[in-house]
Amino acid sequence: MNFPRKKIGLQGRWPQALALFFLPLFFIFSFRWFLYEPFVIPSESMVPNLLIHDHILVKKFAYGLKAPFGDGWVWRWRQPERGDVVVFRYPENREVFFIKRLIGLPGDRVIVQNGQISVNGKPWIIQPVMEGAYSDEAQFSYYLEEPSPARADRKEHSIRLFAQGEHLVPEEKEFQVPKKSYFVMGDNRDQSHDSRFWGFVPEELLVGRAQLIWLSCEETLASAPFICDPMHLRLDRFLKTIE
């Protein structure tokens, strides 16, 4: 005896097919919108801490939850701190992302001269790095810098200045950080285009805090500029925390 087979209409398969297609996309985009987003360092403005072709992860929920589209905050649960390395949208072109070190918070008075910083009358302490630590010390001087007041949860970070004293901003400049804005600078103080020149970063343009270098290379593939050449990897920089 033959029993008729139950026919499954196409309408029964569509929900499953759509779920299989859209669920992975949903999780991928949710991870990128709300948790972590990858970026590639394109310039030397954060040398020696971040090098060209460093691939980093930015912790987008470090300060709160942002809307998937637009620049507004849905919920803030933490304020940025002086010394954080932050990624933000460039105020003069919001399609471009910058990465700098956060120097001044809303209401701070920042004084900069020869790449050295004072915030609210307290200078950030710098100490020379031991000679021989870098190969280009004939051209650049390297220092360990510590924000003031010092932070127990954060190590000192390195900065770079021209060795011969030809500093980018030799004269003293003073900045008063407005409300809901931040003052940022690159660690490569004499080769950084930052708040000293174009002003402050509105809080809504913050993307997140740079947390980890997960991949790094000296060169990229000629056919794909954002993909590392496996023959020129910087293995010593893999999974390095960003201070």
Supply the DSSP symbol for 63: S
Distance from C-alpha of 197 to C-alpha of 37, rounded to nearest angstrom: 27
Q: Which residues of 8-26 are buried (b: 16+ CB within 10 A; e: fewer)?
A: eeeeeeeeeeeeeeeeeee
Distance from C-alpha of 51 to C-alpha of 54, rounded to nearest angstrom: 6
Supply the DSSP symbol for 82: T
Pair 102, 82: CB distance under 8 Å: yes
Q: Which residues pair with 228 in a beta bridge?
A: 220
> Which amino acid, one-letter code, is at 183?
F
Catalytic-role residue among 7, 30, 43, 45: 45
**Catalytic residue list contains 118:** no
Catalytic-role residue among 66, 100, 181, 216: 100
Distance from C-alpha of 76 to C-alpha of 128, rounded to nearest angstrom: 38
**Catalytic residue list contains 30:** no
Catalytic residues: 45, 100
